[in-house]
């Protein structure tokens, strides 16, 4: 059974010939290791939480915000039964970083692979974790991630693995970083969709492992301790306890809805060893820049003065901050875990030091011998200009002047059922006007709305050039973390200004890192390359939740004819209702 763990999960999706082709094309999968089946139940409900001392209606999984960590071993099959107890709100959960090879119906993307699960219903996701590394899960419906519907996925190497993790450590720990708003997802969505436009603003707090501290005095004397209480033990700082002399692997995930962070531990260096599930040619840093949707593993040696504790902090970068830094206690055992460090928390780097942020991105390269090198050439180049626009007075985010709108009928179901009227069948633009001035507010800010998709030849090599530009505010260009579903991509390079395809562009084809999420910096470009070798239709989007909500996304389709018909559980919205009705007679 162990040698066939992947094939046993593919036949319902692909023919055996196609499954064999995909299995042959995969790398670094120990297919002769006995695999387990993890059968989990997630009960999703609204609960009042005090994550930053302020009482907020949050989304919990099994009573927890953030949700429980999924701990698996490479090759395991994970089954998650999601029970929606939200009463008045649908749910879809995306397993971020899990490529869903052979299981596209479990990607967990509302309007793409499934109809979101209605209140009172249960949806079962089933997928194989085919690579070790650090990943995450989060809501992919509306703006629920802002309310805490997220958690970590940690995938370990099998004990039988002949080649161990290349960087030794003593203990394995996890850190979830997030930002926290007091408004509900409904309030935020209403503000973003209103005329005049109302921006959601900066978060009220920054959280480390679900703990933060809001200054309750800002609410005035009319708000009692039942609403905001700084002495509530539920919002005491998170504690990272270490044993002196030991080395710790910290799996760090950013589940923010808006913010980019710098993470640092007072008095301690960090050695970066993993990024989005790929081994890194390790390097040492005092602070780690991390953007929404990214995961890293860093090694920290507990070799400082063990008689005191230290601060672990996060501060906002890439946006002018108005939120206090997030704090945790780096606790040397046997000191008391609530013993505050004797020094002020380190402030972290300044928010607009873009050069330092780009420098770290350029330093992240693949560990040689552990990552397949990219093809030297590409079959297709798609350039995506990132702009802020308006449509009929509403603010939108757009790519090549097109702001994307998700259809009521999920794309993959529409393709399999030949519902040609379910979404726009035209081809989205693959480039933009070369005379466009990326440094100025657009003279014509209007965009068009579309639900179109990019059709890619199966197994072809595709380059994506992300080009940043000015927003609708003068002298403003925002950082966008871009995430691709169903694939990893090689990060070929970063650059300032406008990308020049005919100029001397220097790509790293030697040892580029493979990731699933990457930043696009202000007034710059980021170049990616990936193989369209996973049958289905896959989202590519800015991981800032409000930007995604306002249309900053694209869809890539390849080999969808290989995918089996949709399970009935994925249907129930848009034009899929008639198929359910006909099935039920």
Identify the pLDDT of residue 582.
53
Same domain for 558 and 443? yes
The pTM score is 0.93
What percent of the chain stands above pLDDT 90?
A: 89
- The answer to whether residue 30 sits within a structural domain is no
Which of 82, 85, 105, 104 is closest to 93 using CA atoms?
A: 82
Pick the range with the lowest mean pLDDT from 89-98, 215-224, 325-334, 382-391. 215-224
Q: What is the DSSP string of 125-178?
A: EEEE--S-EEEEEEE-STTGGGGT-EEEEEEEPPTT-SS--SS--SEEEEEEEE
Phi first, then psi: what are they for 460, rounded to 5°?
-80, 165
Any idea which residue has 């040696």 for tokens? 301
The Cα–Cα gap between 23 and 467 comes to 34
Any idea which residue has 């479990």 for tokens? 106
Residue 16 has pLDDT above 60, yes or no: no
Residue 215 has pLDDT above 60, yes or no: yes
Same domain for 487 and 437? yes
The 10s digit of each residue's pLDDT in 525-557 is 999 999 999 999 999 999 999 999 999 999 999
Confidence tier at 20 by pLDDT (50, 70, 90): very low
The Cα–Cα gap between 365 and 187 comes to 41
What percent of the chain stands above pLDDT 70?
A: 93
Residue 18 has pLDDT above 70, yes or no: no
Q: Is 564 left (phi over 0), alpha (psi -120 to 50) or beta?
A: beta
Structural domains in the chain (count)? 3
Q: Quick one: which H or E segment has residue 310?
A: strand 310-317
Q: What are the structure tokens assigned to 205, written together?
A: 């707090």
Pick the range with the lowest mean pLDDT from 154-158, 220-224, 433-437. 220-224
Which of 112, 60, 116 is closest to 411 using CA atoms?
A: 112
The Cα–Cα gap between 281 and 327 comes to 29
Confidence tier at 503 by pLDDT (50, 70, 90): confident
Identify the pLDDT of residue 581.
55
CATH number of the domain residue 327 falls in:
2.60.40.420
SS3 state of residue 335? coil
Identify the pLDDT of residue 577.
75
Residue 336 has pLDDT above 70, yes or no: yes
The Cα–Cα gap between 413 and 317 comes to 40
Domain boundary among 130, 156, 182: 156
Same domain for 351 and 386? no
Strands of 454-455's sheet, edge to edge? Answer: 454-455, 553-558, 536-542, 480-484, 517-520
Q: 314 and 208 in contact (C-beta within 8 Å)?
A: yes
Strands of 238-242's sheet, edge to edge? Answer: 238-242, 326-332, 310-317, 260-265, 288-290
- The answer to whether residue 582 sits within a structural domain is no
Domain boundary among 366, 394, 414: 366
SS3 state of residue 416? helix
SS3 state of residue 521? coil
Cis, peptide link before residue 334, omega less than 30° from 0: yes
- The answer to whether residue 239 sits within a structural domain is yes
By residue range, what is the domain housing residue 111? Answer: 37-156
Same domain for 517 and 396? yes
Same domain for 112 and 60? yes
Same domain for 214 and 180? yes
- The answer to whether residue 564 sits within a structural domain is yes
Confidence tier at 162 by pLDDT (50, 70, 90): low
- The answer to whether residue 471 sits within a structural domain is yes
Q: 64 and 211 in contact (C-beta within 8 Å)?
A: no
Any idea which residue has 């004397």 for tokens? 221
Same domain for 384 and 531? yes
Any idea which residue has 């040698």 for tokens? 3
Identify the pLDDT of residue 501.
77
Same domain for 114 and 195? no
Same domain for 99 and 65? yes
What mean pLDDT do residues 116-123 have? Answer: 98
Which of 123, 69, 115, 120 is closest to 409 using CA atoms?
A: 115
Same domain for 454 and 349? no
Residues near 485 by beta carbon (within 8 Å), at least 6 away in sequence: 94, 100, 107, 109, 112, 516, 538, 539, 540
The 10s digit of each residue's pLDDT in 35-71 is 799 999 999 999 999 999 999 999 999 999 999 999 9
- The answer to whether residue 375 sits within a structural domain is no
More confident residue, 26 or 259: 259
SS3 state of residue 547? helix
- The answer to whether residue 21 sits within a structural domain is no
Cis, peptide link before residue 196, omega less than 30° from 0: yes
In the beta sheet, which residues pair with residue 238? 328
Confidence tier at 2 by pLDDT (50, 70, 90): very low
The 10s digit of each residue's pLDDT in 233-255 is 999 999 999 999 999 999 999 99
Same domain for 225 and 103? no
- The answer to whether residue 162 sits within a structural domain is no
Confidence tier at 15 by pLDDT (50, 70, 90): very low
Q: What is the DSSP string of 75-137?
A: T-EEEEEEEE--SS--B-EEEET---TT-GGGS--BTTTBPPBPTT-EEEEEEE--S-EEEEE
Identify the pLDDT of residue 12.
37
Confidence tier at 161 by pLDDT (50, 70, 90): confident
Domain boundary among 92, 124, 156: 156
Same domain for 124 and 56? yes
């Amino acid at each position: 059974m162990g040698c066939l763990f992947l094939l046993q999960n593919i036949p319902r999706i692909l023919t055996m010939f196609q499954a064999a082709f995909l299995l042959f094309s995969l790398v670094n999968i120990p297919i002769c290791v006995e695999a387990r089946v993890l059968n989990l139940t997630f009960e999703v409900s609204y609960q009042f939480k005090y994550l930053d001392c302020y009482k907020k209606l949050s989304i919990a999984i099994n009573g927890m915000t953030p949700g429980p960590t999924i701990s698996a071993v490479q090759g395991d099959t994970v089954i998650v039964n999601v029970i929606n107890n939200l009463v008045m709100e649908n749910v879809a959960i995306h397993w971020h970083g899990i490529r869903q090879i052979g299981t596209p119906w479990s990607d967990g993307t509302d309007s793409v692979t499934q109809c979101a699960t209605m209140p009172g219903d249960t949806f079962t996701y089933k997928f194989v974790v085919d690579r070790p590394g650090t990943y995450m899960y989060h809501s992919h419906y509306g703006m629920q991630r802002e309310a805490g519907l997220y958690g970590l996925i940690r995938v370990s190497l099998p004990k039988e693995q002949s080649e161990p993790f290349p960087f030794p450590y003593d203990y394995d720990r996890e850190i979830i970083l997030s930002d926290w708003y007091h408004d509900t997802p409904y309030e935020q969505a209403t503000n973003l969709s209103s005329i005049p436009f109302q921006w959601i603003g900066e978060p009220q707090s920054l959280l480390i492992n679900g703990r933060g501290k809001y200054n309750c005095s800002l609410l005035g004397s009319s708000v009692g301790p039942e609403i905001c209480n700084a002495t509530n033990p539920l919002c005491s700082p998170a504690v990272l306890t270490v044993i002196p002399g030991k080395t710790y692997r910290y799996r760090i995930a950013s589940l923010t809805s808006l913010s980019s962070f710098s993470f640092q531990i007072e008095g301690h260096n960090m050695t970066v060893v993993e990024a989005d599930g790929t081994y890194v040619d390790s390097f040492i840093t005092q602070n780690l820049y991390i953007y929404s949707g990214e995961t890293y593993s860093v090694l920290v040696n507990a070799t400082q003065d063990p008689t005191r504790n230290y601060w672990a902090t996060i501060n906002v970068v890439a946006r002018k901050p108005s939120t206090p830094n997030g704090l945790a206690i780096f606790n040397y055992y046997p000191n008391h875990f609530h013993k505050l460090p004797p020094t002020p928390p380190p402030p972290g780097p300044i928010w607009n030091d873009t050069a330092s942020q780009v420098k770290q991105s350029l330093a992240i390269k693949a560990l040689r011998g552990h990552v397949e090198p990219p093809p030297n050439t590409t079959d297709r180049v798609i350039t995506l200009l990132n702009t802020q626009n308006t449509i009929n007075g509403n603010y939108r985010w757009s790519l090549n002047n097109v702001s994307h709108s998700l259809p009521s009928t999920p794309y993959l179901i529409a393709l399999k059922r030949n519902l040609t009227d379910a979404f726009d069948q035209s081809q989205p633009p693959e480039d933009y006007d070369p005379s466009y001035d990326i440094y100025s507010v657009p003279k014509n800010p209007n965009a068009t709305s579309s639900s179109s998709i990019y059709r890619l030849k199966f197994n072809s090599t595709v380059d994506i050039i992300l080009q940043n530009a000015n927003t609708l505010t003068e002298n403003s260009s925002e950082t966008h973390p871009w995430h691709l579903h169903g694939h990893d991509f090689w990060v070929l390079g970063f650059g300032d200004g406008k990308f020049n395809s005919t100029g001397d562009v220097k790509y790293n084809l030697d040892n580029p890192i493979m990731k699933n999420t990457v930043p696009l910096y202000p007034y710059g470009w980021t170049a990616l390359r990936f193989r369209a070798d996973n049958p289905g239709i896959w989202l590519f989007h800015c991981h800032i939740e409000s930007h995604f909500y306002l249309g900053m996304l694209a869809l890539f389709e390849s080999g969808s004819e290989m995918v089996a018909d949709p399970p009935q559980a994925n249907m129930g919205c848009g034009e899929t209702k008639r198929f359910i009705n006909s099935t039920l007679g």
